[in-house]
Amino acid sequence: MNLRIMEERELSLLIEECKNNYQGLLRQYLNNNKMLSKLDLLYCASQGIYIILNENGGVEFKEHKSWCNIPDMIKDEIETSLCKIKEDIFSEDISDFEMLFNIIYNNISEIYGVNELMCYDIALRIGAVNDILPKEYVM
């Protein structure tokens, strides 16, 4: 079997598993971003920070494990770039997730150390605030 076909099949199984097991948890995690102002949301998205509600109803900020090894200088550059395009990011003209992803990708992908997954993660966090979530696989 072709390696590419095997990789695609494994990816589709992983996506299905995530949909079946984590979709509700992800939705709750993303909805927590709605508590933030736009500038705070840009900061958290650029720093890999997510919000959880503890059992007492308090808010806790945690850094996503995949962002721990990213130097602060890169995170700060991402934040600066996102703040420059905040009107575009939060525009009512954004009709779908892919459009939001492309705006973010086109503005931060040239930053050293930034990859597509980081752009996707940032777009997911920002888009969820306005219920702009991915419907298709984004390249």
pLDDT of residue 100: 95
pTM for this model (two decimals): 0.76
Closest CA to 121 of 72, 65, 73, 80: 65
Angle of CA points 14, 131, 33, to nearest 5°: 85
| Cα radius of gyration rounded to whole Å, the chain | 16
Per-residue pLDDT tens over the stretch 85-118: 999 999 999 989 999 999 999 999 999 999 998 9
Inter-CA distances, 45 with 63, 99, 123, Å: 10, 17, 8
* Pair type for strands 49-53 and 59-63: antiparallel
Residue given tokens 């007492």 in the structure block:
56
Sequential pLDDT tens for the chain (139 residues): 555 565 666 777 767 766 666 566 667 777 788 888 899 999 999 999 888 888 887 888 888 888 888 999 999 999 999 999 999 999 999 989 999 999 999 999 999 999 998 999 999 989 988 888 887 655 4
Between CA 8 and CA 12 the distance in angstroms is 6
Question: What are the extents of the domains in the chain?
Answer: 3-129
